[in-house]
Amino acid sequence: MKIGITCYPTYGGSGVIATELGKELALRGHEVHFISYALPFRLSHYVKNIVFHEVETSSYPLFEFPLYTLSLASKMVEVAEFEKLDLLHVHYAIPHAASAYLAKQMLNEKKDLKIITTLHGTDITLVGLEPSFLPLVKFSIDQSDGVTAVSRFLKEKTITNYLCEKPIEVIPNFIDANTYRPNGKPEFRRHAAPNGEKVLVHTSNFRVVKRVTDTIRIFEKVQQEIPSILVLVGDGPDRSECERLCRQLGLCDKVKFLGKQEGLVDILNSSDIFLIPSQSESFGLAALEAMACGLPVISSSVGGLPELVRHNETGYIAEIGDIDRMAKYAIELLTNKKKYDLFAKNARDRAVNVFDKSKIIPLYEDYYKKILNK
């Protein structure tokens, strides 16, 4: 197949999934064309069968706001026509699904370009609900030829929030379990926790929905009982508030802010427990990456997290904001080696058996064929 993929190219789960999907499809012999304003950050090396098309947006004194959505639609038309695309798969509804709709209409006479929209999270649960976007999101979902969501939760939310009539296929996030695996490389642990402290870890884009301050408050309780450190990977709007909280709680020497990192697998391999106490999480790709490295996960009970984390089996789940309970769960796991080892094995097994790319990529391929044959 000749497949166009549009996604946000910067850090973020939807861009990761879109790029890794494109790479896997290319490996399977499909021709993949990425269309975005910058090279997706996971496309750092040449990959056979992958071409990147950059969208440029002109500035003009009249245009107070950049007209990316329109430039993207024009580029989609150009690529679809000249590269003879069979379908265009857009990730994150806003504004990609609207640009794709426009491109489809522009091509109407020339070809029937099929549009598939994958819903990832805040495009449905947060941003899309704003009155300035809601009618457009509903319209562009209904006008897509196919729609997928990354969890059953997100599918249900889309149906109830937008009264969408379009059938939605659930295709969960995936990982490469060969890359994300226990690798026996504890170098990071050796210098971050030189006295044998336990290592709790959290990775995110530090937006308020991630409740990183809860992560710090959970850790505050854990370190009172168990010698431990907290490693925070990533960056974003809430980081300064988190640093301020650490100063207030006197935890600066035990909480390591690493910022954005490439070597996540090695950091996860040097950690014991992954914390994700989010306010909203349609899937939780970061938690899946940790599970694949053999880390039990302690999460809030929101969104798609219970579809990933099995309570009392691969980790623990608690109500949003129940810091005491999450801390209790962490302490229980860190003081019961038998249980910890079992949960760590269960977490890895679940990641491999249910969410490895070998299980999920064929679901996308089958879905593409179904939409193309409609």
Binding site for ligand GMT (CB under 6 A): 8, 12-15, 17, 120-122, 150, 173, 209, 280-285
| Distance in angstroms (rounded) separating the CA atoms of residues 122 and 128 | 7
| Distance in angstroms (rounded) separating the CA atoms of residues 168 and 150 | 10
Minimum gap (Å) between residue 14 Cβ and ligand GMT: 3
Three-class SS of residue 201? strand
- Closest residue by Cα to residue 145 from 365, 367, 371, 363: 371
Residues 6+ apart with CB under 8 A from 195: 227
Minimum gap (Å) between residue 13 Cβ and ligand GMT: 3
Three-class SS of residue 126? coil
Cα 79 from chain centroid (whole Å): 26
Strands 50-54 and 87-91: unpaired
Minimum gap (Å) between residue 300 Cβ and ligand GMT: 11
Minimum gap (Å) between residue 160 Cβ and ligand GMT: 16
Minimum gap (Å) between residue 120 Cβ and ligand GMT: 4
Three-class SS of residue 123? helix
Please identify, using beta-carbon distances, which residue of 96 and 104 lies nearer to ligand GMT.
96
Please identify, using beta-carbon distances, which residue of 269 and 280 lies nearer to ligand GMT.
280
Minimum gap (Å) between residue 56 Cβ and ligand GMT: 23
Please identify, using beta-carbon distances, which residue of 14 and 228 lies nearer to ligand GMT.
14
Could you tell me how many residues make up the chain? 374
Minimum gap (Å) between residue 373 Cβ and ligand GMT: 26
Query: CB atoms < 10 A from the CB of 370, how many?
Result: 12
Q: What is the DSSP letter of 282?
A: S
Question: Is the separation of the CB atoms in 333 and 305 below 8 Å?
Answer: no
Please identify, using beta-carbon distances, which residue of 151 and 271 lies nearer to ligand GMT.
151
Region class of 153: left (phi > 0), else alpha (psi between -120 and 50), else beta: alpha
Strand order in the sheet with 273-276: 255-259, 228-233, 198-203, 273-276, 297-300, 315-318
Residues 6+ apart with CB under 8 A from 240: none
| Distance in angstroms (rounded) separating the CA atoms of residues 132 and 22 | 31
**Token pair for 263:** 């070597």
Region class of 311: left (phi > 0), else alpha (psi between -120 and 50), else beta: beta
Minimum gap (Å) between residue 215 Cβ and ligand GMT: 15
Minimum gap (Å) between residue 91 Cβ and ligand GMT: 8
Please identify, using beta-carbon distances, which residue of 21 and 80 lies nearer to ligand GMT.
21
Please identify, using beta-carbon distances, which residue of 89 and 120 lies nearer to ligand GMT.
120
| Residue 54 β-bridge partners | 36
